[in-house]
Copies of this chain bind each other. A is one copy, B any other.
């Protein structure tokens, strides 16, 4: 009848029951869950089965465990689903070009969103980049892009971006060259003024120089 009760595998059933337990007892993020031994007894299953369920949720970042301390419900932003997936998806993805292009898809969209949003494009953080560029003459490329993605406000997009950016490695995580400095300034300034098209053009130009490195 009930899908949750006729579950074949105990550990999957436990995952479900844990979910109910969290809901029923109104366990909030950061709060403690019953111990493995207690859960084992309460649910009438072996401790190893409880552990299989808990470890599954831990891999997803849904719970946190502290050795000797206990098991705690994790806060939403710590979920690792994207990380886990990317681990397996990026692995068999042969084309680095696809990774690069996909990363850029998210960056371009972020630039569009910011350019079109008054409250975002007028943030003081963009000015701080200008200051940094003038004083130090250079800036970390990855930092600029990261700030753009973060500001755009899509948390999922951010997570995806982090994975993809990590894949590219040092090509982004470096200081900008003299040539890039001008392009970045153009891009940021256009973005600030809400000139979406110009900002994207500068971005494309930037990525071309990056690519030729």
Contact = CB atoms under 8 A, between A and B. Distances in A.
A73 to B, nearest CB: 10
Contacts of A156: 89-90, 93, 95, 98-99, 101-102
Nearest to A62: B88
A102 B48 CA distance: 38
A155 interface: yes
A121 interface: no
Interface secondary structure of A, over-half rule: helix
For the complex formed by this chain, how many copies does it contain in all? 2
B19 A87 contact: yes
B23 A91 contact: yes
Interface string A57-94: 01110100000000000001001010011011111111
B12 A160 contact: no
A92 B19 CA distance: 11
A90 B85 CA distance: 17
A103 B99 CA distance: 16
A157 interface: yes
A95 B55 contact: no
A146 interface: no
A186 interface: no
Interface of A: 11-12, 15, 19, 23, 48, 51-53, 55-56, 58-60, 62, 76, 79, 81, 84-85, 87-95, 98-99, 101-102, 105-106, 108-109, 154-157, 159-160, 163
Nearest 7 A-B pairs (CB), nearest first?
A98-B156, A52-B55, A56-B59, A56-B56, A105-B109, A102-B156, A102-B157
Given A48-B51, A89-B160, 5 more contacts: A52-B52, A76-B89, A93-B156, A94-B155, A98-B154
